[in-house]
Structure 1
């Protein structure tokens, strides 16, 4: 998942869909500095192709990314040349350094299944957060806010390339199963179809709050957020 051609399609789609990564990064930086005015460093976990990371480099003296998919990490490194990007799993990574802020955006946290994996990830986040530092996590939908059978459809154009994306989402055993179909077309290669399936866990709100508390954070859920799914903003107390 998210390697090879699908990493390129992901980049093509979300770069041209109109998502304002610069504004989102600025808003997150503001949230961090409201709680930690002297914040100077940030780690973006599950940074994908670096869409947020490239902008975080303009808000923090040191910004780094962590990404599990090697091909996406390579794109992120090219896109944000001033940031170090490490290939790693959010459930078990050790960079040997701490940051004023740790972020996990665009519902990437939902790729984890169950409370144990949430706990493991938040524990890793805490080990990489400076005392007094801030964690920002953008969740997936909660069980009660997910829309069964949801269909999304978009068309983006980049130069002579056109990409159509249609997805259909259903819930199965507490997991969102998303079937995604792409039609990619250009004047030379014509049109071709690709498909993939994603599984995103519908963690309850209290599951995130429990994981944050167990890791030592003081967490608060904020409504809204970049995608309407809210944000968990947590502080790691200076005295531990």
Structure 2
């Protein structure tokens, strides 16, 4: 799971790769407001360093974030992505309030290891919604859209620091295992190398939809958005 080394360069790398946090948050907000026009409060689950959360804070009156990585939350706190940030697990978190909207972005839902864990997370989301509240989940790839052996390579330079990122993904049962290598270099510290390994579940579309329904949520799938992975949007009955 995301450690201190990656937390410091996480957004630098993904912005350099072309990720547009503002566009993605606007897309999600559009679908939230289409279902609940008065939505004003939002919880971003697996908020990470606050890349999406900071933009949600410009769109909604009251936003909070939750993540299980203290290293990522430390970055989010420094940037003041939201007034309230919680350390917690999406499968078990219990906050003393409810929200108009709950989001889970950038394929983070895929870190759940099984359908039972997906059910647990969706139940937590639904339990933290006001009546008529909305859940928006940016999924990881489906089994049929995952590309076996996919290799990605990028080099990004920002503020005299250069980061090279190379990843390779293979299918492993019902999940994808992604090995990522980073080389980070600057004039003061020279170059350093570290690696990350991520096991991310390849839940099928029908599996997501069934989990939404078991949590008491309606569900729609919007294809083509969020870098092609699509977006699940559900609403509490």
TM-score range, shorter chain: over 0.9
Task: Mark the CA change 1:167 to 1:82 in structure 2 (over 3 Å): closer, same or farther.
Answer: closer
String of CA shifts for 1:20-45, please: whole Å, max 9, x gaps. Answer: 11121112111111110000100000
In structure 1, C-alpha distance between the alignment counterparts of 2:162 and 2:19, rounded to whole Å = 17
- Mapped contact 2:57–2:81 kept (Cα < 8 A): no
> How far apart are residue 3 of structure 1 and its match?
2.1
* Residue 210 (structure 1) aligns with: 210
CA positional deviation for 1:169: 0.3
In the superposition, the TM-score normalised over structure 1's length comes to 0.96
Question: Partner residue of 2:179?
Answer: 179
What's the CA shift string for 1:35-63, capped at 9, x where partnerless? Answer: 10000100000001000100111111100
Give how far 1:148 is off: 0.3
User: Are residue 41 (structure 1) and residue 44 (structure 2) matched?
Assistant: no
- Give the structure 2 partner of residue 137 of structure 1: 137
Deviation at 1:133, TM superposition (A): 0.9
For the 8 Å contact 1:110–1:202, the answer to whether it is kept is yes
Does the 8 Å contact 2:100/2:134 carry over to 1? yes
* Unaligned ranges ≥5, structure 1: none
Q: How far does the alpha carbon of each residue in 1:112-135 deviate from its partner, in whole angstroms, 9 at most, with x for none?
A: 011100000000000111110111
Match of 1:17 in 2: 17
Superposition deviation, residue 81 in structure 1: 4.7
**Which segments of 5 or more consecutive residues in structure 2 lack a partner in the other structure?**
none
In the other structure, the counterpart of 1:195 is 195
Q: Match of 1:3?
A: 3
CA distance in 1, matches of 2:222, 2:23: 17
Is residue 47–residue 104 contact of structure 1 (8 Å, CA) maintained in 2?
yes
Contact kept, 8 Å, 2:65 with 2:82, in 1: the verdict is: no
Alpha carbons 1:91, 1:117 under 8 Å: kept: yes
Query: Which is further off, 18-27 or 161-170?
Result: 18-27
Task: Return the offset for 1:79.
Answer: 2.1
Deviation at 1:210, TM superposition (A): 1.1
| Number of equivalences | 237
Aligned to 2:220: 220
Q: Tell me whether 113-122 or 185-194 shows the greater mean CA deviation.
A: 185-194
TM-score (norm 2): 0.97
Q: Matched residue of 1:57: which SS?
A: helix
